[in-house]
Structure 1
Amino acid sequence: MKPTDSELEILHVLWSNGPSTVRQVHEKLSQSRDIGYTTALKLMQIMHEKGFVSREEDARSHTYTALVSEEATQRNLVDRFVETAFRGSASKLVMQVLGQHKASREELNEIKNLLNQINSSDESN
């Protein structure tokens, strides 16, 4: 199961700030978009039911913690996106991204290093 866009926004807050109350998440989200407190609360309750977050109940508040890692979530979203939008072709995805987005010299160097690492591990197998 993949998180919705709104759930992903909440996960980003939890990944960045660590365990947080609904109020803390709401305050962070309110900086970039108009979202009501009860909407944030309902989303986080749904996320708890889905198993995306855990909830620790205190006398006055609930603290939520992400149960899914950022890396695993990104990997799952990318895998699904490559399968659905690019028919499983990672090279088509990369070509599309590089064709639409001007990569910095640093980003291109990171990509080259990653490709070299992949080639090195393939050759050693």
Structure 2
Amino acid sequence: MKELTKAEEQVMQVLWDLKEGFVKDILEKLPEPKPAYNTVSTIVRILEKKGFVSYKAYGKTHEYYPLVPRDEYRHFFLKNFLGGYFGGSFNKLVSFFAKEENMDLKELEEMLKHVKQDLSKPEDE
């Protein structure tokens, strides 16, 4: 799997939310200032070549849908991010954010409480 550019990831976020859509649907959901229709169309075709999306053809019109689930890409991205910036260590990542945000012990305990709650939930929630 390849890492996405910022523009590609933005289009994928919209497609993951929509589940499927035409270029005009994707364009509607993008924030202002909106890119040109042709720009979005080009990005979607690049995503298709990278294996992230496919489409159903209706004549000359294509309805696009994601091939790569959001969670799969999230896992890939975070693994690369951790490896590239924190030597693969989640502890170093958490320590970095705790220092950057000047978190006190109470805030760290609250964060740990949320993590424990999230870990105890079934994965499909």
**TM-score, scaled relative to structure 2:** 0.80
Q: Which residue of 2 aligns with 1:111?
A: 115
Q: Which runs of 5+ in 1 are unaligned?
A: 118-125
Aligned letter for 2:36? G
| Partner secondary structure for residue 57 of structure 1 | strand
Which residue in 2 is equivalent to 1:46? 46
Give the count of matched residue pairs. 115
Shift of 1:110: 1.7
Separation in 2, partners of 1:27, 1:114: 32
Gapped runs of 5+ residues in structure 2?
121-125
Structure 1 residue 74 corresponds to structure 2 residue 74: yes
The one-character-per-residue Cα deviations of 1:67-110 (angstroms, maximum 9, x if unpaired) are: 11111111100000110111111101112223334669875422
Question: Identity over aligned residues, as a percent?
Answer: 28
Residues 45 and 94 of structure 1: CA distance in aligned 2, closer, same or farther (over 3 Å): same
| Structure 1 CA distance for aligned equivalents of residues 37 and 108 of structure 2 | 39
What's the counterpart of residue 121 of structure 1?
Answer: none
| Maintained 8 Å contact 2:3/2:77 | yes
Query: Cα offset for 1:60?
Result: 4.7
How far, CA to CA, are the matches of 1:90 and 1:36 in structure 2?
39
Instruction: Tell me how large the CA RMSD over aligned residues is.
Output: 2.3
For 1:1-125, list aligned pairs within 5 A.
Answer: 1-29=2-30, 31-101=31-101, 107-113=111-117
Higher helix share: 1
Give me the whole-angstrom Cα distance separating, in 2, the residues matched to 1:54 and 1:21: 11
Give the CA deviation at 1:7.
0.9
Q: Which one-letter code corresponds to 2:113 in the other structure? A: N
The letter for the 2-side match of 1:49 is K
Provide TM-score, normalisation by structure 1.
Answer: 0.80
Question: Is the partner of 1:20 in helix, strand or coil?
Answer: coil
Partner SS, residue 35 of structure 2: coil
Provide the C-alpha distance between the structure 2 equivalents of 1:94 and 1:35, rounded to a whole number of angstroms. 35
